[in-house]
Amino acid sequence: MARKTLKEATAIIKSLVLQFGAEHSIPGIGPVISTMNLSALEEAFEFLGWPDMMPMPEMKCGVPNCFEWATCGTPCRDGYLRCCEKHFSEYSGRKRRLPKT
Ligand SMILES: [Zn+2]
């Protein structure tokens, strides 16, 4: 097996951080991922150039003013909605529209 390139190793470290970092939701900010002060994660975050409590805006629930992690997805009247579990149960299988921002 060929040795991994730096680019491949970086992608692997990012994947590990996303899998094992702690997920938090901060009101007004949204999803962030932290090291929980675990030294291996701190080194990985440093390698990636990430601060502890790294914002993950692409993981935010698609419902306006919800700052939870999008862990589910469902079709809704405004298209496909990536959302948190709470909003999945509110929008899944219904013809409901997203609130205006
Ligand atoms: Zn939500």
52-100: pLDDT as tens digits: 999 999 999 999 999 999 999 998 888 899 999 999 988 887 667 788 7
What is the mean predicted confidence (pLDDT) over 5-28? 96
| Ligand 1 centre distance from Cα of residue 28 (Å) | 13
| Ligand 1 centre distance from Cα of residue 100 (Å) | 14
Cα–Cα distance between 88 and 79 in angstroms, integer?
13
Which pLDDT belongs to residue 99? 81
Task: Provide the whole-model pTM.
Answer: 0.80
How would residue 36 be classed by pLDDT, with cut points 50, 70 and 90? very high
Report the amino acid identity of residue 88: F
Question: Which 3 state secondary structure label does DSSP give 40?
Answer: helix
